[in-house]
Structure formats: structure tokens, C-alpha cells
Structure 1
Amino acid sequence: MLRGWVRKQFAAAYERVLRHELSGAPEHVAVIQDGNRRYARERGDDPSDGHRAGAQTTEDVLDWCAELGVAELTLYAFSTENFDRPPEERERLFDLLERKLTEFADAERVHDQEVRIRAIGETSRLPERVRDAVDYAERRTAGYDGFTLNIALAYGGRAELLGAARDVARAVEAGDLSPEDVDVATIERRLHDDPVRDVDLIVRTGGDERTSNFLPWHANGNEAAVFFCTPYWPEFSKVDFLRAIRTYESREASWQRAKAERALALVRAFGSVELREARAVLSRLREYVPDGVDVDVEGEESASAE
């Protein structure tokens, strides 16, 4: 009991230190919620118990995002690979998704904070009851813009890009789109019905250090910061979340510093080239310069007194 109290006190103190270190927050955080099953297995529980425990962490993260000013959160709730899980586990996960989507859509805080809920992925592959819950949540929150919660369901990064590429190819073949007109905006319009912000930070729990093709266009294309941590998703704490934000801020500061250094080096390089060119021109025109006039290629010309 004493050990637990000490641990809580330490966590609270560490949380205050982290909050003091942070100066802002990323706009869009994407989370790979890994470790629910391992969490349950290590406790001798059923996998569905792990998923339920993870659902509570999801609610906590929503509160932390609101507190820190994060504008958009994307949760990797069900990947296309999850369809390969045992049927019984899959059905229990579908039951949980259906219930939580409905609860979120009806939650008072969702409406108080004007949270917009939307699903991304191949939702047509989901059972009808889950699709109905998705539709209910999206309709109930469609008019909100205070915070965006994207729930990735039946989602796969490669499938997402492949679908967009096929849409573009069909439009070109039909003559509705010229190949020369295909640009970044063209692809983005075909990825999702509504725009998704570029991802600033990916968080993965559970110890694996990979991003599992999650939002490749919006994360890899934006060179998002990545934070890997060992706690399973049900164990993910506010301290872990703050450490992830700190990783993002450190990465941003390093990135901005590197960009400034590259820009400065480029300016210096151009300045050196221009200086050499000016000296070359001056040497060719030296004979035409009037006597008594001294020309400094790095400054202004001046008349010498005789």
C-alpha cells in the first residue's frame, strides 16, 4: 500500500515537471493502441477484458487532448489484419466498438466540447450493427468543430493509398481528369470524404517500434514525430502522454534548427558565388574605372582624396 502511494506521488511530481517543460501541443496526434490482449493474458483474463480496459484509457486520452489543446486525435481501433483474429474474439471486439461508439455519441462531454466523431477505413467490411453505430455517432456530432476524433476501423494504410490511386486512374481513363492536373490535393480528396490534418505525432504503446502502415500519407508525408513506449494500452498514463508530447516538441525544435542552419548555409553559398562573380566582372572592367575611384565589391564605391 505504501509502495503504491509513493508511486502515485512520484507520478504526480513527474507530471508537473513535464507540464512545466511543455510550451504547446501538436495539432494532430495518432495513436496505435497496442497491447490489450497481452495485458489481459498476463493477468489470466479474457482478451475482451483487455479491450474493455483499453477503452477506459481511450476516454482518458480524450480528456488529456482537451486539456493540452490537441485539435485532432486518430485512434487505430481495428485494422484490416484484425479480421484474421479468432471469430469469437472478433465478435466481442465488434460488440465493444458498437457499444462505445454509441456511448461516445451520447456522452455529455462530447457535446459540451463539440467533438466531431468520424470513421476512416473500409467500414463497409464491418458488421451491420457496427456500421449503424458509426453512422449514429457521425450524424450526432456532424455539426461540431471543437475537436475531431477519427476512429480507424477496418483500416489499412496500403489499402487507403491503393484506393486513392485507383480513383485517380478511373478519373483519368474517363477523361474527367488530366494526368497533368494530378497533384497532392487530388490525392487527398480521394483518401477521405473530409480532410484529415497532417499527423504531427504518432504514439505506439506495447513495446513494438513500428508504425504498421498507419496513415502513411498524413504521417510519413509530414515526417511526423514518433513515440514508442513499453506500457500496454490499458497501462498508458498521462505521464506517458506528456512524454510523447515532449518528444514532439524536441523533434520540432531540432527540425526547425536544422532548417535554419540549411537556409543559412544556402544564403552563404549564394553570397560567396555572387562575390566571386562580382570580383570577376570588376577585374574585366578595371580599365574603364576612372582614376581616383576605389570600388569595393562588398560595400559601396568611394572617391579617394588626392
Structure 2
Amino acid sequence: MGINLDKPQLWKSDIKSSVDLYNRWFMEFAPKAFRKTRISTAKRVKRALQETNYLNMISHVMLEKHPEVLPVLRMSTCPPIARDRLVGLAGVSKSLVQNMENTENPHVSPRMKKSQLITELQKISDILTKMADPDIFTWLSDNREPEETEIARASTIIADRLCGAVADPIIRNAQEKRQLAAITSLLEKKGYRFAKAGTHYNEMPAGTFSFHMNVPVFVAGTEGETVMIPVDVAIMPLSANPGDIPLFIEAKSAGDFTNVNKRRKEEAVKMQQLKNTFGNDVSYSLFLCGYFDSGYLGYEAAEGIDWIWEHRISDLEKLGI
């Protein structure tokens, strides 16, 4: 017997409750997450302005020394320039721009010839200088030093542009943290504890759980070849025996109905990979909050994927935890 996949008579009311829960959270907490990110982003923008002498000194030398400023400078133009658009306008290597905008390690292309690197960075700097937004950077046309209030205003405007471009990931990250915190709270009340860092899925002791675990699955059409797939939550029940496979859960949230139906096949593929590796009895469920309509639910149910609604988190107990 299923948890929710075989109860379509409940879907309509559950969808409404799920949307209401997401909207309450969004109105109360999402703006805080966005504001926090905007504040830190504004500081990053201010540093970038300082590195460029407040846009008076955009050059290949500066870009090579401080590649991390490129996203800020793209949002400083009129109109703001998308990454691929900058590649086309400047006629430069796409990999160079991608490397400079690597969030973890911004860098220029290490294998590019020095002469080509200088040429391409100068092309980028020429475009950015020419298109700098005169309504934001008012001091440029006057050829003067900016005032502190002007710097603060410009930094906030550019930070808003940057955050607007990444608003969805900001909200998704905040929502995932909240969902995992809710699961943690329920499990800890039942006596579960976090598995030690680095514990593999097949080494988890009974009564432990882990987040963001990589699980090896067989590649279809090969002889034993495996790939790693990420699973948001792995739970080894208190009653588990040595060698048992954990319960796998995917935490999913959505702020509109459109995107979930575009991505609903991803869970079906992951479910099939897990079945091919661990057998048809493997437990893989979804933990849902937000905009998941009957079309999405019907598709997942047809694939044999069950789900737990966050607004009725007690249903996790039906997994046998």
C-alpha cells in the first residue's frame, strides 16, 4: 500500500495545502534570505568598483588580476549583458568568460597564449567601458571622483541586478535547508543521529541518516559500469539489519507549476537507476513542498514513485523509520 501515490482523492486538497505552506514560508523567510544575499553581494560589488577605480580603469591588466569582477561589470552596463551575449559582442572565447565567472575559482584560461589572453581581455574591457550605465555611474560623464552616497547607491543597484539573475537558486537553497531541517527534527525526536562524515550508503549503522550522499548505480547497457548519483537524504531505519539498503528521499520544492513538469522525468530516471542496481524493492520517495500539480503527481505515481508532503511530515513514519 502506498503513502500518497495511490490516494488521488487527496491530491487536490494536498496540492492546496502544499502551495499555502510554500507561500507562507516565502513571504516570511524568503525575503530574509534574499536580503542577506543582497547585502553580501553589495559588498562584493563595492570591492569590484574599488578594483576598477570606480569603472575608470577597466583594462586587460585589471581583468587578468581580478577576474572575479566580471559578473559585476556585466551587470554594470546599459543594458546588462548576459554571459553569452558578452562572448558574442566582444568576439572572445566562451571558455575564457566561463573561467572568469567560475564561482569557486575565478581565473583566466591558463593554457591560452599570453598574447591572445591580453587581446581577448582588452576586447572585453573595451565593451564594458563603452557600455557602462551612465545613469548609475553618474561620475563617469563628469570625469570626477564619486561621492560615498553615489558608490553606495550604485552598489545596491548592481547587487539587485546580480541577485535578480540568481534569485531562484537563492530561494531553492534556503528552501532545501528548511526542508532538511524539518526532516532532521523528526528523525532526532525518534532517536536517529547523523552518520559520520564520509560514511558510505552501505556502511550506515541502523538509526542513522545522512544528507547529500552519492550512491553508485549501474549504467544501463553496460557490464557493471557504475556512475554516482546524488541523493538528498539517506535513512537507515532503527530496525535495519547489516547489509540493508537505506531509504532514499529527494527533497523538492517549487514556486510555480511550470518548472516541476519540465523536470519530472529526472526522478523517474533516478528511480530506474536505483531499481536496476538494488532491485525493485528499493525505497525512493519524494519530500514535496510547493507547487506540484496533479499532472506531476500522476506522472510520478505512474513511475511507481511515492511522496511525502511536508505539510504532513508525519507520513515519513509510513516508510518504516
**With structure 1 as the length reference, what TM-score do the two structures score?**
0.25
Q: Which one has a bigger Cα radius of gyration?
A: 1
Q: Pick the structure with more helix per residue.
A: 1
**With structure 2 as the length reference, what TM-score do the two structures score?**
0.24
